[in-house]
Structures are given as structure tokens and as C-alpha cells.
Structure 1
């Protein structure tokens, strides 16, 4: 049964505006405040950190949002605060923080106080509009860059994203830039509120050629480069194909930001050794693709599948002649597409997380999973919200 569009509007609005679970304005602000607070904690314990931080504060005495959103800044602060929670920050960690702050200060001096420190050295000013009013910087290859933050970003890309798999960061020429613009625009035209909510969590975008054996790389992001998604040209070549992937990857970024200000799991550090969710659609298991997932991995997949349910319904009910003329028709067969399975897989994963989570889930976590499950049911059953 297709959901009447006024019902789909209500569901989309809920997925984009729930004050705790989905409102991008509040969630991104809380994430920025988390990193500002983290830096303030370190400033209290180090005169050198305090001095360097003061050099990058704005006229109101705040760390600029573009700095607090920077992936290298976030990773450095996350690691330092983690050590602080364990009782001490060693000399190497303090050195990483002070080095990062010096490089950020140099980047702001070179590119302007509103610059994204890592992105400024990588993008040469190129951006892509990921949602109305939201531009993400577009990664260049950085081959000729002497910018220290750019070089650090590229080293992190090699070490933590590629992890030994053959691949390259590609130059985002006009053709790739046009494809990215078209794909994000298609998502925005199909699901305007949800696209804006997800787009708010994008900081950077890259184009990559990753050569994996036995499977086709589509897109990905990694925790050590938060806010940045790397897309394969194969996935960018058709707007609707890209729209699904941009939604998928953006939801991972969104969940990362949600967890910066709200605890879903009582002890995230224990999850690797905790309860597992069997994944029945994965018949084989490997180190890269196990068919039993820890609760946090199951949650990430559940979060995506739950949002692919309204994406599928929107493809059924919202493709006007104007959209078809502008973006073409969705592919009849796109094997990597996941939205065809969204409802069943979302329901299975959500129920498994609730039943197996036990004391691993906080009250907020259980409410979050329950809310998403209810949303899936509303879309699939055509019930007016």
C-alpha cells in the first residue's frame, strides 16, 4: 500500500524535526557545544592549550563552529577527553592538542576566521550544496598542497579510510562536481525536509576510486574523519542512485552527532564484547563483513533502514513529470540499492536491539529505537501520523 502524500509529509517532518532524535539544528548545535566544552576542559588543565585556544576564539569568545566541526579537531579532542576520563592526559596527547591548535590558528590566519581549517587547505574553495543553505567543502587530491592540516587529513585518509586497500582520492573536476550537485538536488526535491536535516551533518565530500576484490565500493565514512563522506564515481553517475546513497551516508553522520550529546548505550566501550545481533541476510561471514553485529553496528544499520522506508514511498508517490524530466527515472534494477528491503530489515534490527540490548541501552536509547520502529510502521501501514 502506498502512503498518501499528506501522511508521508507528516512522517518526513517527524524524521526531520523530533527535538531529541532528529532535529538537525539542535543536534548539530549540541555537537558543536560538546567540542567547545571539551576544549574548555583541556584549557583548564593547560596554560599552553588555553593560550592557543584564545588565539582562535571569535569576537564573542567562542570557538568558531567551523573549527568545532572540523574532523581533525574532533578526533584530537575526542582522544584527549577519553584519556582525561581515564584519569590523565599524557605528554603525547597534550602535544597532539597543542599541535592541532597551532595548525588551526595558522589555517584561520591564512584563509579567514570563518574557514573550515582542514577543508580550506584541501578544497581550494570548492564546495557542494548538500542542502539549501548548507555547503560542504569538496576534497581535492592535495598532491601539491604544503598545508600541514591538508597533509594530515590525507595521511588519515590513507591510514584509517583505505586501511591498506588500493584506492585514490580523485580530483573533483567539473563533471564530478555537477554529478554531486545533481544527486544532492534530487534528494532535496524528493524529501526536502529530510534532505535538509541530513545535509546539515555533512562537513566535507570526497570522490574516491577504491579497488576492492569481489565487491563494488559505493561510498563510506569513517569515525576518524567525522562529517566527511567519500563517494564512488559509479554511485554518482545517476541522480536517484546517488540520492539514496547520500541519504544513507548522511544518516551515519547524523547518528554520530546524536551520540555526541546523548547516550544511547550505557557503556559503549563494552559493546564489542557484548550481545550480538544475527544478520540473516548475510549468509557468509568474514572479518570485513561479519554476519553477527554488535549493538552499535546494528543500530547504525537500523537507523539507515528506517529512513529508507519513506525514501522508497517517496519514489513511488512523488516522482512528478517535472522531477522525471530533471533527474530521469530511477533504475528499474540497481543491485546495491537497499531501500527495497528497508521495512523488513529495519523492523528486524530494531526489535533485536530492544530484545538483546537489556542493560546496554539507556532510557534514551530505548526511546530512540522505539520511536524509529513506530515511524516505520506508520509509513508501511499508511496510518496518518
Structure 2
């Protein structure tokens, strides 16, 4: 089970996910430098940093938020409102492996250095070479990440809290030696806070766009190592999926409203998939906890005897019937709902994602009652070629920039007009590279020669790929 959850190259392999995010960051910086009129040289300089120098910037909550905000502005046709370059021009971007916000943390604490460069939100004191604006922006992101605003300032962790957090991470990585390190790799900062949510006192949350790469948790989550480990898994899984979804959409109807029997308010369909992803991981954690050996139990104590999930909301179907009180019941409901949707509601990546989760779910519980649909996950039927225009001369658009990822077998291409990112697999990459001014018949012939595809199959592959690349504005 542990191995299966990290095996998928798109959604499970944290190193591959990290490489895609780094490539997207670099290409996004290059695109912004084209649009930026005040500080383009800063963005060019950042885009040329080594991977080791780049990752602390990508994981910095303020810089990542500014980057994602600028990408959204470009996608919405607002290149005149970019803010990342002006911010980066005022920040020290050294080569010491620290992000700008991390430099303010006093003391500087890394809770699991062997698994990733996460740091703790301690006292945030702007140093002489870090402008106070950075602290103000970080606090603004903190305030905006908690529903209804925070009830208090961040809780500064004591040495004992730091030790307990590291102990929870140690338990997680020993209980799930593949999933544990994988999710921790997506955490940049851990902070402690107290607040209120619609469902009661805040237990924990993971930052998406509001507070990127960050986990906030109530100090009480450190009471015992099992709760700490579960919290790190819970929120780390969300951060991992957030990063994975930067390189592909799962849904064509993400805003579809879905009734949730244990909640009064319906969820958007995208939240259904996020929750299913979490519950499957939690079921694997629970199974591993049940089978914890004597060494782990002697060191960390016995795992909780009963599953602890957030309570169902009052006046709901679940509250009336006493149902949906376990992760398995909720996973069954969410998976069943998605499986019943029309096929066109999910993208090819969405179908692959669903198959992967259902494989894991059925490995944990053979009697889960969920049967994946027949067919190969993630495969889209080849569309028939157009009746005309197959011999047209085709070439790559000048309104595109690309970044190759040979280790992943992918090419990342951005349409500079729309700021839309497109991830080409090995087949699409090859076809795209052959569109250099030759006609479509010549492209198909050369593609067939290089790929070994038979004549008709090569023709179908090229016709379908060209149709998609043309629609994306990457071919002319």
C-alpha cells in the first residue's frame, strides 16, 4: 500500500512532482520577464539559478504566493499588474539555501532535515538585509489563510513543541517509509496557531494559494506522536496534491456542486477529489498503525484504539442516521459519486488519478465495494483525423516557449499569449519537434519511422496530436 501511493509518476512520485513545479517556475519567470517593464532583469536572473538555489525560493510562502498571483494575472490578460519582480528586486536572494522568509525565523529550526528543508515559524524578526515588508506580507497571508481570520497571533513553539513535532515526523516516516518522506518533502514551513472554523476549533490546515507550502496546526495536535504524525500526513498530502495539480487538471467541471451527507454545505467537485485523495491515504495510515510492530509501540506508545475523524455536522443525513463516521464510509461515498459522473467530467489525468486511488483503496479494503471502471486509466480514444487539411504545412508557433524535461520524458510548453502551460508526453514532444515547416504527411512519415508506429497508427497519432497542439495555439 505504501509503495503504491508513491508509484504513480504524475501524482505519487514527489520527486517528479517537484521537478515539474521547478520547471513551471522557471518557465513562468521567463514568461513574466517578457511582460515585465520595470525589473525584467531580476526575473531573468532568477530563471537562471541552479535547481538547488531555486527550490528555497519556490518554497517561500511570500514569493510562491506572488508567483501564483502573477501567473493568474497573465492568464486573465493583466500583464500590467505583475508584482513578483518588484518584490524580488528588494529581497536578498542569496545562495545559502534559505528562502527570504526562512531568514527571519529566530531561532532557525528545521524539524526533519533528512527529509526536506521545512522550517518552523518561530519569532519572525526581519534581519537588516530583509525588508520589514516581507514580514508584513507573510502576516497578511497568515491572516488570510484562516477562515474568518485568526483568533490569535501565531504560537511560537517551545523547544518541547519542536521536539514533539520532529517525533511525529519520525513516527510517520517509520510507519510509512515511502509515503512519509514523500509528503514531508512538500512542506516548506510549519506554524502553530489557534482559531475557529465553521466546524469548530481549528485543528490544522494546509496552505494552497493563500499560504503556499505551509502547514498550520493547533499546539494540541502535538499531545501524542500518533496525532502529530496523522496531522503531518493529512496536511502534507494536501500540499503534495496542490503541487501535483499545477501540472494538469483533473476535471472539466471543477465547480459542480456535490451533496455531502455529513456536511450541511455542498462541496465543489474538485474538493471531492481532494478529500478522496486524503481519505485513501488516511486508510493506509490506519492500516499501518494497526500493524505497528513492538519496537514502534515501545517507542511511541500504542496507536489510538478508535479512528478519530472530524465530527459530522448537526442536522445532516449522517447525524440523523449515524452514518459516515469513518474514513472508509466517506471514501466509498466520494468514490462512488465520482464514478457515477459522465465520463466527460474528468480529464484523462482525472481518470488516471481516480484509478490510482481506487487501486489503493481496494488494496486496503478488498471489500470496499468500489469497482474501478474497465479500460486503461488515462487513455483517451484517438479522434479520427480531419477530412481535409492533412497535407498542410505546419510549424511551431513563435508565441511559445518550451522547457525540456528529459528525465521525465516530458516537454513543458507555454503559450506566451495566454500563459497556459501544456505538458507534452514523449509522443506529443516528438510530433511537436517535427513540426518545423514540413507538411503533415511528412511529419507522420518521420514520426512513424522514429517511433516504430505502423502507417495508419502513425497517421492517427499525428492527426490527434496536431489537433490538440493547434487548439492550444502551439502550432501554426
Q: Which residue, 35, 40, 53 being the options, matches 1:45?
A: 35
Structure 1 match to 2:9:
19
Q: Which residue, 326, 333, 339 being the options, matches 1:341?
A: 326
Contact persistence 1:68–1:74 (CA under 8 A): yes
Q: Structure 2: which 5+ runs fail to align?
A: 312-323, 369-476
In 1, distance between residues paired with 2:50 and 2:173? 34
Match status 1:369 vs 2:354: yes
TM-score, with structure 2 as normaliser: 0.68
Q: By how many angstroms is 1:205 displaced?
A: 0.5
Aligned positions of 1:93-112 closer than 5 A = 93-94=81-82, 96-103=83-90, 106-109=91-94, 112=95
In 1, distance between residues paired with 2:308 and 2:50? 51
SS across alignment from 1:347: helix
Deviations 1:98-151 (A, max 9, x none): 232124xx3324xx4421122222354221117x33131101242677643232
In 2, distance between residues paired with 1:210 and 1:337? 16
Structure 2 match to 1:303:
277
Q: Which residue, 171, 184, 208 being the options, matches 1:186?
A: 171
Structure 1 match to 2:461:
none
Q: By how many angstroms is 1:54 displaced?
A: 3.9
Contact persistence 1:161–1:221 (CA under 8 A): no
Assess, with a 3 A threshold, how the Cα gap between structure 1 residues 237 and 144 changes in structure 2: closer, same or farther.
farther
Structure 2 match to 1:119:
102
Structure 1 match to 2:120:
138
TM-score, with structure 1 as normaliser: 0.83
Q: Which residue, 258, 276, 281 being the options, matches 1:277?
A: 258
Q: Which sits farther off after the overlay, 334-343 or 224-233?
A: 334-343
Q: Which has the higher contact order (CA 8 A, sep 6+)?
A: 1
Q: Which residue, 277, 282, 290 being the options, matches 1:316?
A: 290
Tell me how large the CA RMSD over aligned residues is. 2.7
Contact persistence 2:29–2:47 (CA under 8 A): no
Aligned positions of 1:224-239 closer than 5 A = 224-239=210-225
Q: By how many angstroms is 1:74 displaced?
A: 2.0
SS across alignment from 2:39: helix
In 1, distance between residues paired with 2:170 and 2:234? 15
Number of equivalences: 352
Aligned positions of 1:192-271 closer than 5 A = 192-211=177-196, 215-223=200-208, 224-266=210-252, 268=254, 271=255
